[in-house]
Amino acid sequence: MAPIITTIEDLRRVAGRRVPRMFYDYCDSGSWTESTYRANEADFAAIKLRQRVAVDMSDRSLATTMAGQSVAMPVALAPTGLTGMQHADGEILAARAAEEAGVPFTLSTMSICSIEDVAEHVTKPFWFQLYFMRDRTFNDRLIDRAKAAGCSALVLTLDLQILGQRHKDIRNGLSAPPKLTLGTTLNLLTKPRWCWSMLRTQRRTFRNIVGHVEGVRDTSSISAWAADQFDPRLGWDDVRRIRDRWQGPLILKGILDAEDAEVAAATGAEALIVSNHGGRQLDGAPSSIAALPEIADAVGSRIEVLMDGGIRSGQDVLKAVALGAKGVFIGRAFLYGLGAYGQAGVAKALAIIRQELDTTMALCGHRDIRAVDRSILRTPPVREIGPDVRLRVPAWRSAAS
């Protein structure tokens, strides 16, 4: 009997049974001790809402804009690497589901399906995420390919100059396609749905790279090329150069500090994303939702502030909007749906978040997502972290306090 799916957690459990371990762990893990990965969710849970009654809850609207684009709700699908390893043709399926839901889909540089693959299978523009590589010619070609595909925004990721300590990926020997060791083979034999779907597609490696870089033709040559490509010298002058080359909306991803946000706001970018890379880079960094209010206060009048990290429900979306985000990106939430049921699973994840967002907004006394602010939040709790230390977590200022 098929399980009844009512929450993102339900989708996560199904994905855990259907996706090979190395790819499920890639999605469902963080770096080092995973403290920041866990904090992304825990700090959302600590935020309490003000219930309001005897107010008009009719004619509600979740419609707004993100980076100048009209969206059905303040949610976009985040750029996630190896999406096509959660389910065959995963990027195409997720893009289709996002298009049907009226929200943006963002394709990662490190996707399995290429820019051209996705463009061929959708009817509306999608967004493209760029990693800054040492190979400047490759960077420029990616931007030009995104332009040619009609991508309507460029998301430049700033927080992956070097790779975080991702212990599960190392232990699992993560690769695309998976290397057939005894352990991976035994695990794949327990995932017949996944194996069957993968056998029916030709998209099983990094198609934005293979055939687009001289000498990179197979999995082994990709590994050698990629290992030395993320550029540790990335600086703000490079960001400005990309700003000059890309004429559409530019979104800077990976901002977690108000000082960096000030510099980002001066680059001419249209938006920034408050993000700790899903807890997969600097372990011990604050959760995204804890960092959001200070950044929104500092630069929200000069640059659009978005966020990602820890979004597992429509309530989380509402809390982020209340604390200053114009919209949010979901990564794991849609990947769980994709791994569980393909395109239908992504559509289900988006429908769950939409329903939860709509219901929660109404019960907080609002009918229009654009009017939501910190007045819907209660005073944050005080967490004891030591005999002489009391810390409000997460740190924000509530209009209700």
Q: Residues forming the annotated binding site for FMN?
A: 79-81, 108, 129, 157, 253, 275, 308-312, 331-332
The strand order across the sheet containing 304-308 reads 75-77, 327-330, 304-308, 271-274, 250-255, 153-157, 127-131, 106-107
**E strand or H helix at 64, and its extent?**
strand 64-66
Q: Check: CB of residue 59 under 8 Å from CB of residue 115.
A: no
Residue type, 315: Q
Q: Check: CB of residue 372 under 8 Å from CB of residue 318.
A: yes
Q: Check: CB of residue 330 under 8 Å from CB of residue 337.
A: no
CA distance 39 to 52: 28
Helix axes 314-322, 343-363, angle to 10 degrees: 50
CA distance 85 to 104: 21
Q: Check: CB of residue 383 under 8 Å from CB of residue 347.
A: no
* CB-count exposure of residue 2 (10 Å: 0-12, 13-18, 19+): exposed
- The DSSP bridge partners found for residue 368 are 61
277 among known catalytic residues: yes
What DSSP assignment string belongs to 271-330? Answer: EEEE--GGGTSSTTSPPHHHHHHHHHHHHTTTSEEEEESS--SHHHHHHHHHTT-SEEEE
Which of 87, 167, 212, 277 is catalytic? The answer is: 277
* CB-count exposure of residue 162 (10 Å: 0-12, 13-18, 19+): exposed
Name the 3-class secondary structure at 382.
Answer: strand
Contacts of 390 (CB under 8 A, 6+ apart): 382, 383, 384
Counting every residue written for the chain, the total comes to 401
**E strand or H helix at 194, and its extent?**
helix 192-199
Output the known binding site for glyoxylate.
Answer: 26, 131, 166, 277, 280
CA distance 126 to 147: 11
| Catalytic residue list | 277
